[in-house]
Every structure is written in C-alpha cells, then in structure tokens.
Structure 1
C-alpha cells in the first residue's frame, strides 16, 4: 500500500493534520522559519504520542541531536545524508505496523478475557473488580451501592427445546434489553450462563427495587426469534453495601441468597434478609476464633510445586495457608482468608504465612535445594505501612536471600490504589524480592499497564488453563498472553494444570512454568520433600512426559 503524506508549515496545520487523520511517521525540519523542530516535537508528543518523529536538519551539533532524541525524536538525519531517509522511513513504518498488530492482538485478548463471548457484556471478573473498587473507595461503609443478580427462569428448558444456538440468541437479546433498561451509571455484567449481575452506584434499597421493577418490565413482551415468540421471566436478588456485607464475595453471595428467596416466594425480586440460623453469626464466630488459631498453631502451610517446562526441574513452590479447626475440621481458605481482610486479621495472618514460608525456604536451602517460595498478598497486606520493614526482618531472621521470595498479587489488588501499590512494588523489587501478577487474563488485564509495573512474572488464570484443550477461544487467549508477556521480558506460569494435553499445548506455546494437580497437589513440608525426591529421580530418566506423581 502506498503511504499517504501531507506537508504542514505551522502549529495550526500540524494540529489539524493529527485531528483529521492518524499519522505513523512525522518528518520535522529542525530549523524551519517560525516553527522550529523543538516546538513541533512537543506538539507531536502532546497530541500523537504513538507517532514516530524523525528530525531532518541541514546542520545539527551533537548537543542538539541528543536534545532532540531526549524530547522524543526517534532519529535525526542531516540533509547532506538524505540517502538514509528512505531506509529510516521504511524502518519506522515497519515498526509502526508491528506496533499496531501488537496493540490489536492485545486489545482482542483483553476484550476476550474481560467480556462474555456470547453477549459481549463484561464478565464476572469485571463485576467483582468493580465491587472491590467500590468497597475500597468507601472504607468503613462510608458510601453505598447495590448489587443485583438476575437469573432467567426456564432458560435451560428453552435451550434444550431449541438448541444451543437459539439459547445464545436469547442471551444476546436479554443482554440488550437489560442494557436498555439499566441506568447510565450502572455496570451490567454477564456473570454466568444464564445469570447477569449489576452494580448500582449510590443506590439504597428503594432505588435498587425501583430499578429492578424496570428490569422486570422490560420482559413483559416476549422475545422474538424469527417468528417465534419466547417468553422470558427473570428472577432478581438485591444486596446492599454496607448493610449486607463489606466484602465483594459476601455481597454477591447475599444477592444470590436473595434471588433464591424470590424464587421460593414466587416473586420476581427480593432483597437480602439475614437468616435466623445465622450464617453471618457463624462467620463472625469463626473469625473470632481465627486470632487464637494463628497463635495456637492450628494454621499451617501446604506447598504446591512449580516446574520449569524446559528441563522439568522443580524451581519453586506456592505457600498456601490451611486451618485445621479442633471442632470443625479442615476450614476452606475461602471461608476465612477473604473475610480476615475486613476485620483486621489479615496482617497477623500474612505475617504468619510469610514467617512460616521463609522458614521452610531456609530448610530447603540447608538441604541444598534453592527454590523460589511464593506467598499471596492481599490489598491490605501490600499497602500495609509496615510491610517492607516486616519483609526485611523476616528475610534476615530466616537468612533467606530476597530473590528466593516471590510475592503474588492480583490485578484487583493493584487497582485498589494503583499509585501506592506501584511504589511498594518498586521498593520490593529494589530489595530483590520477585513479584508476580496472579490470575492474569481476567478483569482489566492490560499489557500496556503491565509494561509499567516492576514485576517479573505473570500467572495465567486457571480458568483459561482448565479450558485450554476444549476451547479454541481460551487457547488463543493463553497463547497471546505468553507471546506478549515474553515481549516484555516477563516469565509466564500457568496454574491449574490438570492433564498432560494441557502441558503439551503450553509447552508448544512457549510457557515457562507450570503448576497444578497434574504436577503435584498442595502438600505438607514432609510430603513435599518425599515427592521432590521421587520427582528428581524420575527427571533423570530418559525423556518423558510430565507424568503426575501421587501427592
């Protein structure tokens, strides 16, 4: 394709040119009368930072050349050496094409990762991150918002009667009707096969119920597919912040319970009410017991191995906290870790995990094994004013190099307070600690944003890895994540690997590290050592697949 070109001679014309079209390369005469190269460079940087400026000059000293490069010029060419200009333009146009292709792939990957493939609406991860931001922006319940979950009655029967393609058409039409009925400030998401979720900013119970009435009214008329009318009836559940919870998972759970109430009562909508059997009171009692559990050694860690695909070496492990309650038995982490963040227990819990994990890492070093031990940090843990002091002290006490500690954080953790989170990450990296973005590929995944973070690794979310062999869409996402992460010099790990076929696809895509049940389940320290010995023995055997070992 022939390149387009335009000549401009003053500031107004330059600004108009960028306002009317997108330009890849800008040739700037450094000493043009009335409009010098420095002024032109400043405008290009201001209005079109993606454009590539090349400065052309009759004579330019070394100092001026360096200054031009410092202010954004990609190259400078003397007028008596214009034979260099065509090659320079070709080079920059080629780079511009490559940049556009990378941006297009990244945008496609981001859209696929954060939006439902059928309806095109944001997915559950986007809604969860928006709720987390809403909670973070209204600490202590200072603000308010409502969560609404909506499910379609008899959707499974419709899909079974008419087929999956018609089922997808129904979901698309439902999404459009909901979008048309939602207030402009609401976030509408497709949170499941037949479930939709809404975040209603600044909404109390009365406002939320009024909006839900509008949503129900939107389905008074049947959907029409071809010439077939299909009646769809929604059921809705409402939960309110802060009355019904101060954590996203609790608000979504309570909205789901309210939806169940609506169905049980034969109503279209219900607002959450606390159960008399008191799941909340049980949760409060459990959290009250957590503090003593930390002090009385009811908590312990299990370690899930991480293996390098290139040579099948065990290179690290993720430390995962467990609670063996004297009466309740094993308490799932999801029942106490997220809730501990809302009641001030996340700091002692994080300190326990950090201290125990580094003690285990020190034992591995004494046994002649150098492993990277990964610890998960929540938002409050990362932004704790004392966290850097704590990490330095624990590393010194365990006599473990900082490079053998890896801190895993999620994208939602970063989004809660991006500026402060970045400052902490930069200090941790300067200390030598390795940093990883966990659950990458969901929510607001952005390589443009990631490029500016001082991290070493991304971990592909297990949801994509689990569907790697059955979903071409997820395989595309995984491959794009690996390629783009490598262009940024990042290591890529895949978690949730449960079969050899997934490992084969990950290896073919260039993935660096794998973690999951196919390699080894989380296990106690003694069992990990035994498993490691078995793995190392098998790794010295002739070339083989990464067969799972009992764990």
Structure 2
C-alpha cells in the first residue's frame, strides 16, 4: 500500500502546487491591474479577464448586492460566459433558493465560500445544465468589503471538481481584498473629482441659471482677445440688463424674479451658437461674447435678442413684460482689456432706449457718465443720512380770493462739487440705488418739522408731500406718518399728500387701500399730473381724494391750443362733478390765470405765482404776495 500511496501523494502535491501557482499568478496580475485602474467598471472587467486568461480559471464574474425586496445580485462583469446568462437565472443573496450559491452566501455571510462540486451540490441544481455546457465543475466566491460593508462578491469557477483548497482560497481571498480596496480607492478618487468639479462649477458657473458667471466670462474674454489679436480680428461684447427687475422682485417676490431670470436665460441660450459665450454677470444682467465679429453683426445680434426677449414671460401665473436694454462694445476699438470692454458695454447699455430698438453702441463718454452716476448714488446716500438735502416749497394760491392756501414740498440737492443737481437727475438715481424710501422719510421728517415751525410762528399753511409708486407699496408708510403726527403734535389739516396718477395706476387695488388709510388720518389727498396716467372714471370715483392737479403739459399751452383748453375745461368740470377741487400746475402768465379763473379753476401753482423757494423764505414771500 505504501508503494501505491507514493505516486498518488506526488500527484496530489503537484496539483496543489499547480493551484497555488495559478492563484499566485492571478494575484500578481490582479495587483498589476489595480495599479493601472482609473475607472471602476474597467477595473472589474480587467480583473475578470486576468482571472480567466492569466489564472487559467474557467470563468469569473463580479456581482454587487442590491438591497431590494428580493436581495438581488446585480452582475457587473463576467468573463468566460455571457453576463445575460447570469441575469436570466435571477441570482440573489437571500438565504434560500438561488441565494445559497457560493456568491450569494459570500455576500450574506461576509466569508469566502467554496462550492466543491457544481454537478452534485443541490444549491446549484438550477445552474447544473449551464455548468456542464460551460465545463465548470467547482466554484468559489469571495466577499468584497468596502467601507465596512459587503458590497458584493468576486466569484469564479474551475474545470476540475474540488478545485479550491485552503491555500488557494487564502490567496484568492487576498485578491478579493485587493479588488475591494481598488474599488474603494477609485470611488474616493471619483468623489474627489466630483468635489473638484463642484468647486470649479461654483467658481465659474451661476447657481441660479446654470450659465457661466462673470469670472468665467472675463477669462474667456482674455483668451478670445489674445486669439483675435493674433489673427487681426475684432470681437464684440453685448451687455443685457433686465428692466424693472427690482420692481418685479418687490411686487411678486424674489422667487418670481428668479423664475424670470431662468426663463430669460433659457431663451438666450437657444439663440447662442456653440462658439459664443453667454454668461450671467450680475443680479439681472447677462453678457454675450461674439468672437470674430463686426459692429454690423453685433447690432444684428442685439436686434435678434431684443426680439427674442420681447414676448411676455409667465411668472407666478402672471404674464410679465421683461424689457431688456442691450449695450455693445467692440475689441479693439472700444477697449483692449476684458474688464474695460465689460465696463464699456455696460455703459452703452445705460444709453439704450426702447425707442431706439433697445440697444446702443458704445460711443465714448458713456462710461464716464455711468461712473459719475455711480459716484452720485454714493453721495446721495451720504446726503440723505447726514441731512444735507434742502427743503424747498412752491406756493399754491386760491384763484378766487388770491390768498395763499398752502405749498408743495420739494427736495433739492446742492452737491459740494457739482453744485445744484436737478431732481430729474437725482430722483432716478435714488430709484436705482434703492434710496426712495430713505428719501421719502427725509421728506416727511423735513415737512413735518417745517409745518411745526410755521405753526409755532403763527403761520398755519398746509404742506403737501409727494409719494411715488414705490412709496405706495411700502407697508410701513401709514404707520410712519401716524408716528410723525404724534411726534410733532400738528393737526392733520396741515399735512397733505400728492400721488401721481401713473403711480396710482401701477397697482390700483393696493393704491386705493393706502389712500383710504391716509384719508382716515384726516389728511387731504391730491391726484398729481392728472391726465397722464389713463385712469378710468370708475376708478376715479372710488378714490378718497380731495384735489385733482391738472398736469402742466395741458395748462401751459391752453392759451394757444384749443385742444389743451378743452382738456383743461373738461377736467375742471369732471372734478367739480365728483366734488373735488382743481389745482392747475404750470401757471406761468396772467393769461393762464385769467383763463383758469374764467373756467372756475380753484387753485393755481406755477412761476406766475412763484418759483420753488427754500422753505425758510416762504413766510417773507407770503407777506410780499399779500
């Protein structure tokens, strides 16, 4: 028996060594594969190929555990047979049926599993026919553990039964651990790549619209300018601003403003070619870089964009007209650096007018004017905060008695460098800089203080303060006025408020509510600039106002224009029929006075009576008028 045992033992030893050598070859080739892996799916594919082609195993496959109701094994890669064959048998890692194979058990238990004989093991009954076709007699599976969790299993099969002994299993377990480490490492690297991409996107792209941002645009501009310089070409930059954006935010809310910008961004993207760069460069501002272009083409593009953006945008269930102004600047003619080109396109944008197509080309001087406006905004804020504005007033006179019946409060700004700046210039600046509310507060404080001073001096003359559409939307306006009456202790008959017809018509329902609240304070109310706001008679009837002021655009030409005279006469009759008194603005001559007196107008205001004057001069003026 000893003679017979010798050769058998040598054969067994040889087979064992062959298996160990096979496992070592596989482990070595697998480690080489790990070193060069850059993609998880490619790593899985290469590892299966190494096991079969280098290791000499019949087949290899890798499956990941799904945490679904059926505990499905999702096969990622296979070599030696088609992956579809595995999918057709619905392998699982549940403790029953197809889950009791080596792969399912390795996933479930987290330990290596050897299926000694596929042809006799009951767990592989459903797979037996395929095993015979594939020439597989034994199988082994090794768990893939990533970050403390069993991700799946590495499974392989050999042609001979009882193929996987202890040493071979140990070596192949090491291979599986290396593979799991490789998967984890690739996933970490992928997370790092994603994080870097996210950081880059945050740095170069706008989160709201998904478009490139100002930083991206400036870098692309730098590149495009260098290229244009090399090839002796020009390029254009279009700067677009969404008009009335702050108003839309305040009336409809910031979410609606965001929706508007997103929709406009989508429309613009559809109009942009692949070699052009569209960017979101400010709160409500876009820019478009047109490489290798001319002034003519830039103008054509501006016209096209104005047309694309002309149609209303649906926001919060409402159709909103988003007027867009477009400025154009060219390299190298207007600027030779990215920042300068962007500034000059922005300066041109401020000169764009709807009547001129909504776009403007940079012509020089615009940037300086825009810079002056920005500087004035800062100076205006300082002037308001440090009480450096001036309160002026323009008298109102009762036509029948020629007695002074009050005055309109006006604001003036004497700039320390530029001198007296007209309200027509600094009021729009206040609107752009968000200073309307502080400016109105200054006016109210000054007017109440002046009325108190007049009252203490024995002069009780009402002073009228103008409100803008922005003021009418201020929910705290009426409470502030109520507080000022309490602070100064003057009667409501000494304060009046004027609201332009156009301001009332921007939001009639809200305006009516504010007027009603103001009227409940006991004050008198005026509709200013009547005839320019297209209010309806039905709406006019609802307003709790005491006076209608006919706009000077109708009063001044009434002595030479029959049409204007008809409008003035009709307005006087309409106001009287509605139990309102009529104030005529723009009374600049005795002829105006006489005509208005003959028509029964109640009050006159204009240069024939007096120009606006500093409020402290009013008392002396009234004495001289009397």
Question: TM-score, normalised to structure 2's length?
Answer: 0.46
Segments of 5+ residues of structure 1 without an aligned counterpart are 1-130, 147-202, 213-238, 245-249, 260-268, 537-551
- Give the aligned partner of residue 351 of structure 2: 254
After TM superposition, give the deviation of residue 357 of structure 1 in Å: 1.0
Give me the whole-angstrom Cα distance separating, in 2, the residues matched to 1:464 and 1:491.
17
Could you tell me whether the CA contact under 8 Å between 2:548 and 2:580 is conserved in 1?
yes
- Give the aligned partner of residue 426 of structure 1: 516
SS at 1:375's partner residue? strand
After TM superposition, give the deviation of residue 491 of structure 1 in Å: 1.0
**1:467/1:445 Cα in 2 relative to 1: closer, same or farther (>3 Å)?**
farther
Where has structure 1 moved over 6 Å in runs of 4 or more?
131-135, 250-253
The equivalent position to 1:272 in structure 2, one of 329, 350, 360, is 360
Q: Which is further off, 289-298 or 250-259?
A: 250-259
Give me the whole-angstrom Cα distance separating, in 2, the residues matched to 1:257 and 1:442.
19
After TM superposition, give the deviation of residue 204 of structure 1 in Å: 7.8
Give me the whole-angstrom Cα distance separating, in 2, the residues matched to 1:457 and 1:531.
24
The equivalent position to 1:445 in structure 2, one of 527, 531, 535, is 535
After TM superposition, give the deviation of residue 289 of structure 1 in Å: 1.3
After TM superposition, give the deviation of residue 318 of structure 1 in Å: 0.5
What is the RMSD of the two structures over their aligned residues, measured on CA atoms? 3.2
After TM superposition, give the deviation of residue 255 of structure 1 in Å: 3.5
After TM superposition, give the deviation of residue 390 of structure 1 in Å: 0.8
Could you tell me whether the CA contact under 8 Å between 1:205 and 1:240 is conserved in 2?
no
Could you tell me whether the CA contact under 8 Å between 1:133 and 1:415 is conserved in 2?
no
- Give the aligned partner of residue 360 of structure 1: 450
- Give the aligned partner of residue 206 of structure 1: 304
- Give the aligned partner of residue 506 of structure 1: 596
- Give the aligned partner of residue 529 of structure 1: 619
After TM superposition, give the deviation of residue 252 of structure 1 in Å: 11
- Give the aligned partner of residue 574 of structure 2: 484
SS at 1:400's partner residue? coil
- Give the aligned partner of residue 120 of structure 1: none
The equivalent position to 1:316 in structure 2, one of 388, 406, 425, is 406
- Give the aligned partner of residue 198 of structure 1: none
After TM superposition, give the deviation of residue 272 of structure 1 in Å: 1.7
Give me the whole-angstrom Cα distance separating, in 1, the residues matched to 2:410 and 2:562.
31
Larger Cα-atom Rg: 2
Give me the whole-angstrom Cα distance separating, in 2, the residues matched to 1:428 and 1:289.
32
- Give the aligned partner of residue 494 of structure 1: 584
After TM superposition, give the deviation of residue 496 of structure 1 in Å: 1.0
| Mapping 1:111-510, distance limit 5 Å | 136-137=247-248, 143=260, 205-208=303-306, 241=324, 254-256=351-353, 259=356, 271-273=359-361, 277-510=367-600
Q: Pick 1 or 2: higher relative contact order, CA cutoff 8 A, min separation 6.
A: 1
Show CA shifts across 1:409-434 (max 9, x none).
11221122221111111011011121
Give me the whole-angstrom Cα distance separating, in 2, the residues matched to 1:447 and 1:253.
37
Question: TM-score, normalised to structure 1's length?
Answer: 0.52
Give me the whole-angstrom Cα distance separating, in 1, the residues matched to 2:570 and 2:243.
27
Segments of 5+ residues of structure 2 without an aligned counterpart are 1-241, 265-300, 311-321, 328-346
Give me the whole-angstrom Cα distance separating, in 2, the residues matched to 1:474 and 1:306.
22
After TM superposition, give the deviation of residue 277 of structure 1 in Å: 3.0
Could you tell me whether the CA contact under 8 Å between 2:353 and 2:359 is conserved in 1?
no
Give me the whole-angstrom Cα distance separating, in 1, the residues matched to 2:483 and 2:358.
51
After TM superposition, give the deviation of residue 457 of structure 1 in Å: 0.9
**1:348/1:137 Cα in 2 relative to 1: closer, same or farther (>3 Å)?**
closer
**1:516/1:132 Cα in 2 relative to 1: closer, same or farther (>3 Å)?**
farther
After TM superposition, give the deviation of residue 435 of structure 1 in Å: 1.0
Give me the whole-angstrom Cα distance separating, in 2, the residues matched to 1:291 and 1:443.
30
After TM superposition, give the deviation of residue 456 of structure 1 in Å: 1.1
Give me the whole-angstrom Cα distance separating, in 1, the residues matched to 2:349 and 2:302.
16
Give me the whole-angstrom Cα distance separating, in 1, the residues matched to 2:472 and 2:243.
15
Give me the whole-angstrom Cα distance separating, in 1, the residues matched to 2:350 and 2:611.
28
**1:431/1:211 Cα in 2 relative to 1: closer, same or farther (>3 Å)?**
closer
Q: Which is further off, 524-533 or 477-486?
A: 524-533
After TM superposition, give the deviation of residue 364 of structure 1 in Å: 1.6
SS at 1:412's partner residue? helix
Give me the whole-angstrom Cα distance separating, in 1, the residues matched to 2:247 and 2:581.
30
Give me the whole-angstrom Cα distance separating, in 1, the residues matched to 2:243 and 2:508.
13
Give me the whole-angstrom Cα distance separating, in 2, the residues matched to 1:456 and 1:287.
36
Show CA shifts across 1:491-518 (max 9, x none).
1100111001011111111110000000
**1:333/1:299 Cα in 2 relative to 1: closer, same or farther (>3 Å)?**
same
Could you tell me whether the CA contact under 8 Å between 1:495 and 1:515 is conserved in 2?
yes
Give me the whole-angstrom Cα distance separating, in 2, the residues matched to 1:204 and 1:402.
53
After TM superposition, give the deviation of residue 445 of structure 1 in Å: 3.5
After TM superposition, give the deviation of residue 526 of structure 1 in Å: 2.9
Give me the whole-angstrom Cα distance separating, in 2, the residues matched to 1:134 and 1:277.
22
Show CA shifts across 1:51-93 (max 9, x none).
xxxxxxxxxxxxxxxxxxxxxxxxxxxxxxxxxxxxxxxxxxx
Give me the whole-angstrom Cα distance separating, in 2, the residues matched to 1:446 and 1:534.
42
**1:426/1:327 Cα in 2 relative to 1: closer, same or farther (>3 Å)?**
same
**1:373/1:413 Cα in 2 relative to 1: closer, same or farther (>3 Å)?**
same
After TM superposition, give the deviation of residue 310 of structure 1 in Å: 1.3
After TM superposition, give the deviation of residue 450 of structure 1 in Å: 0.7
